[in-house]
Amino acid sequence: MNRFDFIRPKTVAEAVAAAAEPGSAFLAAGTNLVDLMKIGASRPERLIDLNGLEGLDQIEWRADGGVRIGAMVRNADLAYDARFAKAFPAVAEALLSGASAQLRNAATVGGNLMQRTRCAYFQDPASACNRRNPGAGCDAKDGLNRMHAVIGWSESCIATHPSDFCVPLVAFDAVVEVEGLQGRREIPLDALHRLPGDTPHLETALAPGEMIVALRLPAEAAGFATHARYLKLRERTSYAFAVVSAAAALQVKDGVISAARLSLGAVAAKPWRAREAEAALVGQPPTAEAFARAADLALADARPSGDNAHKIELARRILVRALSLAAEGTPDTMPALPASPFSSHPGASHVA
């Protein structure tokens, strides 16, 4: 780890001003950043500590039923907020699918949105990685790549975005509020993370020095609360990134789907919204055949980036299963967390 300056601003404005200096990075819980610093994959010269800034750790409900979540709200606090879990159950389910209980107690909403798209080669300073060192090449392309992207990848980078939380957020049209030297602006979450193209080191739509101050979910997202699920397939039962994941939410009226929201995780460098598949479901009965057609549309542009063709079929299957479970209805009690002995429904699991 290189030597760095540590700055503790008193206000958001001070934090933004400090971060405008080249080589700066914001520090929330540090559950991603500190790990990357320890292994030399990230080498900031200045850390701007956001802990203690007032006004960033609140969950604020809007009159219309929407919600504004401060960037420093802890993942566990949001997932276990009873009103939030009732209104946005798939988002709570995704939060509880991530990492471990200890990390969820520390990790923040803003930090989760900003965790790095990465793979093992990014985390190995001895490997060539265009994200870490622009122009160096991508050792993952011809390396061990069975977990890598199948949608939206380029010859420059085939890494996937690791967040569980972001997958249903993208499906529900979440918006992030960001603060910079030019003031405050909003970015749809679906536009926050960039696909790699020829510039994978440009990972987000944030300008230098901008910081996320809040996340908003619209009231319309709560309209899917009775038919919404998040599923995650992983290689071990707990504390692992997804091989593939899916968020599915439906509105069903008189036996016909009137609205749908679908997104996939761990298939691209950003959470992947399946809008064409959503449109195809509207007007259809919630049947296995309709769900299979939607999954085919969602994966129509998928192609292997290496030894990972299996991920396409896995993504197709998990999307069908997520849709099927959403159609059955959101459970009154959250299914057991991976490896948890505390389920009130023995044998129940919210992972694929």
In a domain, 316, yes or no: yes
User: Is residue 232 assigned to a domain?
Assistant: yes
In a domain, 301, yes or no: yes
Query: What is residue 350's predicted lDDT score, i.e. its pLDDT?
Result: 46
Written as six digits, the tokens of 293 are: 């057609």
CA distance 169 to 221: 9
Give Cα separations from 106 to 86, 99, 102, 150, 191 (angstroms).
Answer: 23, 11, 7, 31, 26
Six-digit token string for 236: 């071990």
> What is the value of pTM for the model shown?
0.94
> Are 282 and 294 a contacting pair, CB within 8 Å?
no
What lies within 8 Å, CB to CB, of 235 at 6+ separation is: 243
Residue 311 lies in a domain: yes
Rounded Cα–Cα distance for residues 240 and 134 (Å): 28
Amino acid at position 137, single letter: G
d(C-alpha 6, C-alpha 97), whole Å: 32
- Domain of 291? 226-328
* CA 337/CA 349 separation, integer angstroms: 7
pLDDT at 238: 72
Question: CATH number for the domain including 262?
Answer: 3.30.390.50
d(CA 65, CA 37): 40
Q: Which two tokens stand for residue 306?
A: 């290496």
Please identify which residue in the block is written with the tokens 């499906």. 171
Buried b (16+ CB within 10 A) or exposed e, 191-202: ebbbbbeeebbe
Integer-rounded Cα Rg, in Å, for the chain is 20
Backbone angles phi, psi at 9, to 5 degrees: -70, 160
The whole-angstrom separation of Cα 299 and Cα 295 is 6
The C-alpha atoms of residue 81 and residue 84 are separated, in whole angstroms, by 5
In a domain, 166, yes or no: no
pLDDT less than 50: residues of the chain: 339-352
Distance CA 213, CA 318 (A): 33
| Within-domain flag for 247 | yes
- Tell me if 235 is assigned to some domain: yes
Backbone angles phi, psi at 320, to 5 degrees: -60, -45
105 contacts: CB under 8 Å, gap ≥ 6: 74, 75, 76
Which DSSP symbol is given to 51?
A: T
Asked if residue 287 belongs to a domain, the reply is yes
User: How far is 44 from 27, CA to CA, in rounded Å?
Assistant: 11
Number of domains in the chain: 1
